[in-house]
Amino acid sequence: MDLLKFITAGSVDDGKSTLIGRLLYDTNSVLDDQLEAIQRANRKNNDGTLDLAILTDGLKAEREQGITIDVAYKYFQTEKRKFIIADAPGHIQYTRNMVTGASNSDLAIILIDARKGVVEQTRRHSFIVSLLGIPNVLVCVNKMDMVDYDQAVFDKIKTDYERLAQSLRIKQIDYIPVSALKGDNIVTTSINIPWYQGRPLLDFLETVQIDHASDNKQARFPVQWVIRPQTQALHDYRGYAGRVVGGTFEVGDRVVALPSGFSSIVSRIELANNDLNTAPEGASVVIHLADDIDISRGDMLVKQDEQPAVSQRFEAEICWMDTRPLDLNQFYLLQQHGKTAKVKIQDVIYRVNVETLQQSAAAALDLNDIGKIQFKSADPLAFDSYVSNKANGGAILIDLRNNLTVAALMITEPVD
């Protein structure tokens, strides 16, 4: 059965948790003990109905404050599809959590309060969605019941968002007017919004077409582990375990190990003790080579005629996620797949004003800032641009002083 991973994002009190709670409740995806927990919590709406937001507000601090802090993941399925939902925090203080939840999503639901329209967090979250290469956006204009289901309100928000989207890299945008509190257009078409002729939310989620295949067809195989049993029965066994993150590999392919540049031929491909002729994108396999060449964890196998950039200097778009500001005098650790390398940030090229989407000069980046940097690595790294291959163009930065992840990187290009 097909799987759809999507994230909900919006400003504080736009109703993200209520929307997901309503979706789960109306699709009978809530277990009996969860319903009992809601009733024991005694959280109700003004009209006396159960507060379904508690289904996703799992942390005690969230329940006390009435906001979402962490990314809450929920799972459900219908007869047509399986779903993984990431409920991202709306407060600007927790933008970094939204980056985490969006990084593996196929679709983003941007929730907008019908009373407030497009606000700063709408712009911020939409920019992050664009930056992370999520191809599909669904704009849910929520709380339509609080503006008397007025079509003019919906149309104005749609116009404002379309103006914003002109400067973003988003392939497809759809719009649905909803009321998560009342259930309008969540699972069934609402009689209160007769002017809307489209599908309700669940129908949209069940049928939206997501292209899971990478636009980049060049073969990439980061080596996660070198398998050498060194037993009497397998004393000559040498396999390279990992996951194909682009293109395909076939037995007989001429491949190059990066960054060393040594070449060989794929002699065998294993999956769960079975031999394969082809390893497609997304497959976790063990690849054997005809020659015993020097390969370690973190190296990458590519086809000889499909090589990525190999360089020690790169430019990257960055989301800064630490309370300590970026420090140009500090060394950081870059991690990409199984590869780690010490890096130095040489320059902050610009910082993005998320309110205006304008770029400006900056000496550093602070918590939740988004910008572009240039860095130099102690070791050569094999990358594609994030736009052409998300899996091979993404990385994280780690602070060597405390081992905390401080930034998400989207590689744009090598620097000569």
pLDDT tens per residue, range 228-237:
887 776 777 8
End-to-end CA distance of the chain: 46
Q: pLDDT tens across 311-360, in order?
A: 999 999 999 989 899 999 999 999 999 999 999 999 999 999 877 888 99
Q: How confident is the model at residue 46 (pLDDT cuts 50, 70, 90)?
A: low
pLDDT surpassing 70 at residue 410: yes
Place of tokens 């007869």: 79
Q: How confident is the model at residue 411 (pLDDT cuts 50, 70, 90)?
A: very high
Structure confidence at residue 60 (pLDDT): 41
Average pLDDT over residues 132-150: 94
- How far is Cα 379 from Cα 211, in angstroms, rounded to an integer? 34
Q: pLDDT tens across 209-220, in order?
A: 876 555 557 999
Q: Output the six-digit token pair for 165.
A: 């989207």
Average pLDDT over residues 25-29: 78
Structure confidence at residue 71 (pLDDT): 55
CB atoms within 10 A of CB 75: 11
Task: Report, in angstroms and rounded to the nearest whole number, the Rg of the chain calculated over CA atoms.
Answer: 24
In the chain, count H helices and then E strands: 8, 22
Q: How far is CA 32 from CA 217, 331, 375, in A?
A: 46, 51, 52
Amino acid at 416: D
- How far is Cα 212 from Cα 257, in angstroms, rounded to an integer? 27
Phi, psi of 169, deg, nearest 5: -95, 75
Spatial neighbors of 27 by CB under 8 A, at least 6 apart, are 76, 78, 187, 202
Task: Answer whether 142's CB lies under 8 Å from 180's CB.
Answer: yes
Higher-confidence position of 45 and 27: 27
